[in-house]
Structure 1
Amino acid sequence: MPLPQPAERTKIHTRTVTCEGFERTDGLWDIEGHLTDIKTIPITLRDRSLSPVNPGEPIHDMSIRLTIDLDFNILDAVASMEHTPFTVCPSIADAYKQLIGLRIAPGFTKQCKELFGGTNGCTHLLELLGPVATTAFQATHQAREARHEHASEEHRPHTLNTCHTFDSAGEVVKKYWPQYYEPDKLISSKQIS
């Protein structure tokens, strides 16, 4: 269902976040995130130039690439800052090499905030790491499923109890993963309410 009709308005700003996943020929995966901020009106940035930034010209234009394996281990990380409001901004890009050796797993967002929060990083690159991490799951899904099938082992769905749809007491789990269906969970949660 689309959003309801808005009030009369004028567009001023567009933030675009694009994330892509690439399977490499060496068996690894590159997950890339790209963020731009663009205005529809000219603005002046103190440190960037004496002339205004024209409509359509990026204020922020930055990217990050994580190279991972199918277990979500980060083997390489590189950040790039093509357009920034201050000339000093790109000097923090190399800090994102600290991601090497981490694993995209529960707690990853907290680790990123500890590493890059406040003056230790760039707000925009830190925000970009969330969608990059979820893109890693989406991009590698079929390859991970195929790996489990080849191992011919019964595996617990990684999405179990991660959202409303994958509730272990819900209809989706009952239909597609009946061995993990927990109808008693539904009864006990209703008794608590």
Structure 2
Amino acid sequence: MNEASIPASTGEVTREPIHIRNIHFEGFRRSDGMFEIVGQLGDTKPYEFTPPGGLRVVSANTPIHDIGVSVVFDLEMVIHAVSTFMRAFPYRDCAGGGESLQALVGLRIGAGWSGEVRKRLPAGETCTHLREILIPLATAAIQAVNPLRAQGLMEATDANGKPLKINSCHAYGASRELVLQRWPAFHRPSSS
């Protein structure tokens, strides 16, 4: 994305770029039957920058952060392995900020993910930016394997027989057309 692709403010206000952050995810099916999601975060500035208390000067448009995490999981969304990479970071001690992510092995990606990540990865022991990547990484992982899990997810019900997919997002809200088409007995007209 560049400045030209972002809608400009109204009026005579001008803008000067001062920071660029990119977060990118890629999902993979592995030959060992597992799945892998890789998340990467990059920060740059269009001018020379010295991190506060830092011992180095970062040239304009050179990564301040170029870090990431790889999570290997099965079709049930259980994590089997975690690895991190740190190609660019502002402080020498940053390099050890990914070691704590091993606490995620055995965790299931799904409901309660964000809270569990925060609980298992104390801020003082974990790179803040790796923790940041992990929150949207969960939805990227789910999107990566959803086509393989779709039928089971669509058929799953609660103890009363109500499909779990209902009210799982806006499109599957009980008052929406998708619910009316697929599960008319559970459709609830909008109250507005």
111-120 or 21-30: bigger deviation: 111-120
The offset of 1:180, in angstroms, is 6.1
Match runs of 1:18-97 below 5 Å: 18-45=24-51, 46-49=53-56, 52-97=57-102
TM alignment of 1:103-122, pairs within 5 A: 103-122=108-127
User: In the alignment, residue 183 of structure 2 is paired with which amino acid?
Assistant: P
TM-superposed CA distance for 1:182, in Å, is: 2.7
* Structure 2 segments unaligned to the other structure (5+ residues): 158-162
- Is contact 1:170–1:181 with CA below 8 Å preserved after alignment? no
Deviations 1:20-51 (A, max 9, x none): 100001110010100000000101134342xx
Q: How many residues align?
A: 179
TM-score by length of 1: 0.83
Compared with structure 1, are the counterparts of its residues 60 and 183 closer, same or farther at alpha carbon in structure 2 (3 Å cutoff)? same
Q: Deviations over 1:42-87 (max 9, x none)?
A: 01134342xx211111111101010000110000011111111110
Q: Which runs of 4+ in 1 moved over 6 A?
A: none
Give 1:161-172 correspondences, 5 Å limit: 161-172=167-178
Q: Structure 1 residues 159, 9: CA separation in 2 closer, same or farther (over 3 Å shift)?
A: farther
What is the identity, as a one-letter code, of the residue corresponding to 1:14? I
TM-score relative to the length of structure 2: 0.84
What amino acid is aligned across from residue 94 of structure 1 in structure 2?
A: E
- 1:13–1:37 Cα contact (<8 Å) kept: yes
Percent of aligned pairs with the same residue? 30
CA RMSD of superposed structures (Å): 2.3
Q: Work out whether 1:5 is the aligned partner of 2:8.
A: yes
Offset from partner CA, 1:78-106 (integer Å, 9 cap, x none): 11111111100111211111110100111
Specify every segment of 5 or more residues in structure 1 that has no aligned partner in the other structure, as ranges: none
- Structure 1 contact 117–126 (Cα < 8 Å) conserved: no
Shift of 1:179: 5.0
- Partner in structure 2 of residue 15 of structure 1: 21
